[in-house]
Amino acid sequence: MDVPCADCPLRKTGAFSPNTTEEISFIQSFKRGEVNIKAGNLLVREGVISGELYTLLRGWAFRYRTLGNGKRQILNFLLPGDFIGLQERLGTQASSGVEVLTDAVFCRFSSERLWELYRNHPALGYDITWIAAHEELIVDENLVSVGQRSAAQRIAMLILHLYKRAESVGMKDAEGAVPFPVTQQHMADALGLSLVHTNKTLAQLTRQRMFTIRNSRMTIGEPALLNKLADYFSVPLRGRPLI
Amino acid sequence: MDVPCADCPLRKTGAFSPNTTEEISFIQSFKRGEVNIKAGNLLVREGVISGELYTLLRGWAFRYRTLGNGKRQILNFLLPGDFIGLQERLGTQASSGVEVLTDAVFCRFSSERLWELYRNHPALGYDITWIAAHEELIVDENLVSVGQRSAAQRIAMLILHLYKRAESVGMKDAEGAVPFPVTQQHMADALGLSLVHTNKTLAQLTRQRMFTIRNSRMTIGEPALLNKLADYFSVPLRGRPLI
DNA sequence: CGCTCGGTTGAAGGAGGTCAACTCCGGTGG
DNA sequence: CCACCGGAGTTGACCTCCTTCAACCGAGCG
């Protein structure tokens, strides 16, 4: 029923660093089944003690945090291959929630065996550290956007970043379009903007043909212009670890 | 000359989780001397390939990132015990710079022996992952502030957070004051606000006796009010690992 | 003694927020 | 088959929080 790790479709994208067959068989034994979540539902609720670890196998999701006044900040978007559950100390309250944008499948891992992973497979332990560090990098980038960029720049940045990430896991089709299940409300919550202003700025950029969003798919029209607008110099993200 | 890890003053604060004497002696061998930086200078320059790892032993610093237009975002403030160098893959360009607020001392670690750490001391590897995850948590919190809170709330949040962190590493004196070497420009850069507006909002809050900043020291006047204003429910940060 | 750095204050303008109404579209159920 | 509904997107008017520009103060220091 479940996808065997040895046949993991994500590894075939070439976006991830290879592992030995021994490591993969440990990962397989570490895996405790798959979790299916329907679009719009939660994988992790804020403030709940869970201590579960997941890898997003298929679909899109996002990690967020809500304030007392009801405002929500999306911390980052999750694409296939992203690891979830390192944000808090295991066994404490989840500081952020995870909600799913499309129907999604997660691989669930046994947090009790995490210690065994570190003990018997130090290379995988190293990988997990690397994953945590890499995720911080993404949040760093978002913080720079929200703190210092104008609305148009933030949107340009988000579009570019998501396009690149989707492309890297093999989501680009023959026409150069990638799936884009993100509503304007999600963009607003991620960028610290109001929905209305997000809409108006978005409209301006699409009028300039910088990119197109239609039927939950996105294409980039003017990559150079968009990069310049966003003031963004991307580093290629290849060869990151996958658990 | 250098402080021996077995006598590390940070461990005496009780803010960090204990290690076995064997682990501490490995950390000692992992340590490659101390680095002294004068107030206002850089430990790490943005974009430079270094691959060094550090722990801040004494003083204050901050991690930041600069945009093409010269604007700067402070990503987080660094206090004693904070680990530096996980933000990028070892041996690649530093994505963020580290600048020092006060004269500071860092323990430098050998990145070549990091692999040995994971192999021979899995518990320390686990700790490093935990440190990376914890640091992401702090950046998350900053992102929530900058994205969703008003200027007054952001300042309240920053004050509370820094006070709590300084207190946790034993910096509080008999009068309840902690060092506060942060200028208004630094606060502005961390909170995504202009200097002028930071100043005016700060003045309003101090007029309400919420806190006092004088001679680079800070005291909190109304913790309850401040907490309510910031919409911030702090979790106690004790028992985090120290390398 | 003058310079620089950090902090303070006032005035004016703009980027973005809020409120409100309307469209479009895909269900879903009579 | 059509009516109804809710979610997403669009647009206009108004307002405000915050930025920008500019000037000034005080303290430390070469």
The Cα-based distances of A74 to A79, A185, B211 in angstroms read: 14, 10, 30
Do the strands B31-37 and B104-109 form a parallel or antiparallel pair, or are they unpaired?
A: antiparallel
Task: Report the pLDDT value the prediction gives residue B118, as an integer from 0 to 100.
Answer: 97
Which of B75, B89, B126 is nearest residue A118 as measured by Cβ atoms? B126
Grouping H, G, I as helix, E, B as strand and the rest as coil, residue B44 is strand
Whether A125 and B125 lie within 8 Å, measured CB to CB: yes
Task: Report the pLDDT value the prediction gives residue A234, as an integer from 0 to 100.
Answer: 74
Task: Report the pLDDT value the prediction gives residue B146, as an integer from 0 to 100.
Answer: 98
Report the 3 state secondary structure along B164-226. HHHHHCCCCCCCCCEECCCCHHHHHHHHCCCHHHHHHHHHHHHHCCCEEEECCEEEECCHHHH
Render pLDDT for A16-33 as a digit per residue (tens, 0 to 9).
999 999 999 999 999 999
Give the CB-side neighbour count of residue B181, counting CA atoms within 13 A: 17
Which of A115, A139, A144 is nearest residue B136 as measured by Cβ atoms? A139
Q: Is the predicted pLDDT of residue B120 greater than 90, yes or no?
A: yes
Q: How far apart are CA B209 and CA B231, in angstroms?
A: 18
CB count within 10 Å of CB A227 equals: 16
Task: Report the pLDDT value the prediction gives residue A225, as an integer from 0 to 100.
Answer: 94
Please identify which residue in the block is written with the tokens 């884009």.
A180
CB B14 within 8 A of CB B238: yes
Task: Report the pLDDT value the prediction gives residue B110, as an integer from 0 to 100.
Answer: 85
**Which bin fits B86, alpha (ψ -120 to 50), beta or left (φ > 0)?**
alpha
Which of B123, B192, B231 is nearest residue A147 as measured by Cβ atoms? B192
List chain D nucleotides near protein: any atom < 7 Å from a Cβ.
8-13, 17-22
Task: Report the pLDDT value the prediction gives residue B197, as an integer from 0 to 100.
Answer: 98
A35 CA to C28 C1', in Å?
A: 29
Task: Report the pLDDT value the prediction gives residue A92, as an integer from 0 to 100.
Answer: 80
Do the strands A104-109 and A83-84 form a parallel or antiparallel pair, or are they unpaired?
A: unpaired
Starting at the edge strand found earlier in the chain, the sheet holding B53-58 runs: B31-37, B104-109, B53-58, B83-84
Task: Report the pLDDT value the prediction gives residue B35, as an integer from 0 to 100.
Answer: 96
Q: Is the predicted pLDDT of residue B237 greater than 80, yes or no?
A: no
Q: How far apart are CA B161 and CA B11, in angstroms?
A: 21
The answer to whether the Cα torsion of B36, B132, A40, A27 is positive or negative is: positive
Q: How far is CA B242 from the centre of its chain?
A: 13
Whether B147 and A88 lie within 8 Å, measured CB to CB: no
B96 interface with A at CB cutoff 8 Å: yes
Q: What angle do CA B204, B206, B210 make, to 5 degrees?
A: 110
Task: Report the pLDDT value the prediction gives residue A175, as an integer from 0 to 100.
Answer: 93
CB A138 within 8 A of CB A82: no
% chain B with pLDDT above 90:
86
Confidence of residue B164 (pLDDT cuts 50, 70, 90): very high
Task: Report the pLDDT value the prediction gives residue A112, as an integer from 0 to 100.
Answer: 85
Task: Report the pLDDT value the prediction gives residue A66, as an integer from 0 to 100.
Answer: 96
Task: Report the pLDDT value the prediction gives residue A90, as an integer from 0 to 100.
Answer: 67
Task: Report the pLDDT value the prediction gives residue A236, as an integer from 0 to 100.
Answer: 67
Min distance B113 CA to chain A CA atoms (Å): 13
What value does the mean pLDDT take over residues B108-125? 93
Q: How far apart are CA B118 and CA B30, in angstroms?
A: 12
Cβ contacts of residue A112 below 8 Å, gap of 6+? none
Q: How far apart are CA A197 and CA A50, in angstroms?
A: 37
B49 interface with A at CB cutoff 8 Å: no
What is the rounded radius of gyration, in angstroms, for the C-alpha atoms of chain A? 18
Do the strands B53-58 and B31-37 form a parallel or antiparallel pair, or are they unpaired?
A: unpaired
Q: Which domains does chain A have, with CATH numbers?
A: 5-137 (2.60.120.10), 142-230 (1.10.10.10)
Task: Report the pLDDT value the prediction gives residue B49, as an integer from 0 to 100.
Answer: 85
Which of A69, A95, A132 is nearest residue B231 as measured by Cβ atoms? A69
Whether A128 and B129 lie within 8 Å, measured CB to CB: yes
Q: Residue B123, exposed/middle/buried by CB under 10 A (0-12, 13-18, 19+)?
A: middle
Average pLDDT of chain B to the nearest whole number: 94
Q: Is the predicted pLDDT of residue B111 greater than 90, yes or no?
A: no
Query: Which tokens hold the place of B47?
Result: 């974009």
Task: Report the pLDDT value the prediction gives residue A65, as an integer from 0 to 100.
Answer: 96
B218 CA to D27 C1', in Å?
A: 19
Q: What is the mean pLDDT of each run of 10 residues along chain A (243 residues)?
A: 92 95 96 95 91 94 95 98 85 89 96 92 96 94 98 98 96 96 98 98 97 96 94 78 96
Measured between CA atoms, the residue of chain A closest to residue B116 is: A122
Q: Is the predicted pLDDT of residue B99 greater than 80, yes or no?
A: yes
Within 106-135 of A, beta carbons closer than 8 Å to B belong to 114-115, 118-119, 122-123, 125-126, 128-130, 132-135
What's the one-letter identity of residue B109?
F
CB A242 within 8 A of CB A9: no
B140 interface with A at CB cutoff 8 Å: yes
Task: Report the pLDDT value the prediction gives residue A89, as an integer from 0 to 100.
Answer: 72
**Which bin fits B89, alpha (ψ -120 to 50), beta or left (φ > 0)?**
beta
Render pLDDT for B28-61 as a digit per residue (tens, 0 to 9).
999 999 999 999 999 999 988 877 899 999 999 9
Whether B73 and A143 lie within 8 Å, measured CB to CB: yes
Render pLDDT for B205-222 as a digit per residue (tens, 0 to 9).
999 999 999 999 999 999
Q: A178 pairs with which residues across the strands?
A: A218
Grouping H, G, I as helix, E, B as strand and the rest as coil, residue A78 is strand
A11 interface with B at CB cutoff 8 Å: no
Q: Is the predicted pLDDT of residue B91 greater than 80, yes or no?
A: no
